[in-house]
């Protein structure tokens, strides 16, 4: 008898970091929904037989399209996952509680109410718990409670789960009509054993002063357990195209020691930079800073260039067989906006304990 696979649908999927975690945990990811075509191409190519649909979820009529998709394929949905944009609650953004994007999660509420998956997993920014007295989190918990889901929120710190990146995300996990409350998995790694930048990317070609080919060979065997895991299903390197900076940028970053930023420049140059993370060089012995969507402010711990898309993807815990599509700028955005797949996988594995076949 074939082993039963729980079904999973990803709303506001982006390239699908969260659902890739569910896919790697053995779930059948059936559909990704987003509004960006190239992002959806990356989603579709990296989630087995999953389909991808471009839909505007400000318009809740489009929820009918998703329900029709499930009906046509006779799919009973087990888990609905999603990371709706909530820039109004982001600490990095202007923090406007009236930002209309903050209401996009209501598309998840409506879809859950109509198809009744066993569980809902919603991921978002830490500001959800902090901004304006945590009003964002309260709304989410109350709206899902009204349709039968007991939502449990928790802030997860990526390095605690073996991810080489300082990233905090809030996960809400709700179980339908359940007497049980979801208990989040405990950290799998202690502080002394955090996976570092060097552990994550030191096996990739240096690319100093060269762009690199679309497809490259590994220059060496894996040099850490993390690299072994990332390379498990891949025998080639993709998305590893270097950036050759102008002479001024190369000069400035060459003056920044490992783990420091523009404040470590000679005094006469410091006034050139205002952004607090400008010219930040990663520390090889620590996890990286939060991967962004391609601002040119973070630099390799050793080389005088920004990390490649593949290096950023490694630091986000995307395995090397996950290929990103679109131009370089689109690829950086897809990586930076994603949930680390390993974080999704940890939640997905724990959730299996609560699901019925």
CB atoms within 10 A of CB 110: 14
C-alpha distances (whole Å) from 245 to each of 10, 220, 291 are 37, 27, 19
Are the CB atoms for 18 and 122 separated by under 8 Å? no
Report how far residue 92's alpha carbon sits from residue 95's, in angstroms, rounded to the nearest whole number. Answer: 8
C-alpha distances (whole Å) from 20 to each of 29, 47, 110, 351 are 8, 7, 24, 15
List, in order, residues 6 or more apart from 142 with CB less than 8 Å away: none
Are the CB atoms for 19 and 29 separated by under 8 Å? yes
Report how far residue 146's alpha carbon sits from residue 154's, in angstroms, rounded to the nearest whole number. Answer: 20
**Would you please indicate which residues are annotated as catalytic (active-site) residues?**
86
Q: Distance between terminal CA atoms of the chain?
A: 14
Report the run of H or E that residue 32 belongs to, with start and end: strand 28-34
Number of H helices, E strands in the chain: 13, 11
Q: Is 215 helix (H, G, I), strand (E, B) or coil?
A: strand
List, in order, residues 6 or more apart from 349 with CB less than 8 Å away: 25, 185
Q: Which two tokens stand for residue 23?
A: 């896919």
Report how far residue 241's alpha carbon sits from residue 261's, in angstroms, rounded to the nearest whole number. Answer: 24
Which is it for strands 79-82 and 51-54: parallel, antiparallel or unpaired?
A: unpaired
């Amino acid at each position: 008898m074939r082993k039963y696979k729980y079904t999973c649908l990803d709303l506001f999927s982006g390239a699908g970091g969260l659902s890739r975690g569910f896919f790697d945990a053995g779930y059948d990811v059936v559909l990704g929904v987003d509004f960006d075509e190239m992002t959806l191409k990356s989603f579709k190519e990296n989630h087995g037989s999953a389909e991808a649909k471009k839909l505007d979820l400000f318009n809740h009529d489009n929820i009918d399209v998703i329900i029709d998709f499930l009906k046509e394929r006779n799919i009973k949905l087990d888990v609905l996952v999603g990371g709706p944009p909530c820039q109004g609650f982001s600490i990095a953004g202007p923090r406007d509680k009236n930002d209309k994007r903050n209401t996009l999660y209501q598309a998840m509420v409506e879809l859950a109410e109509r198809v009744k998956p066993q569980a809902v997993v919603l991921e978002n920014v830490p500001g959800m718990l902090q901004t304006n007295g945590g009003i964002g989190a309260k709304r989410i918990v109350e709206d899902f409670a009204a349709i039968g889901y007991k939502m449990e929120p928790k802030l997860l710190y990526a390095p605690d789960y073996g991810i080489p990146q300082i990233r905090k995300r809030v996960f809400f996990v709700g179980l339908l009509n359940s007497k049980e409350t979801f208990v989040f998995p405990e950290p799998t790694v202690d502080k002394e054993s955090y996976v570092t930048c060097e552990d994550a990317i030191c096996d990739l070609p240096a690319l100093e002063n060269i762009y690199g080919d679309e497809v490259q060979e590994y220059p060496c065997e894996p040099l850490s357990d993390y690299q072994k895991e990332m390379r498990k299903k891949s025998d080639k390197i993709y998305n590893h195209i270097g950036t050759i900076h102008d002479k001024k940028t190369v000069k400035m970053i060459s003056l920044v020691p490992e783990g420091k930023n523009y404040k470590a420049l000679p005094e006469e140059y410091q006034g050139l930079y205002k952004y607090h993370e400008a010219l930040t060089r990663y520390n090889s012995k620590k996890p990286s800073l939060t991967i962004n969507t391609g601002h040119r402010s973070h630099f390799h711990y050793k080389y005088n260039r920004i990390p490649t898309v593949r290096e950023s993807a490694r630091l986000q815990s995307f395995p090397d067989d996950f290929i990103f599509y679109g131009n370089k700028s689109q690829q950086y955005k897809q990586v930076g906006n994603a949930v680390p797949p390993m974080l999704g996988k940890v939640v997905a594995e724990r959730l299996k304990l609560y699901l019925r076949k």
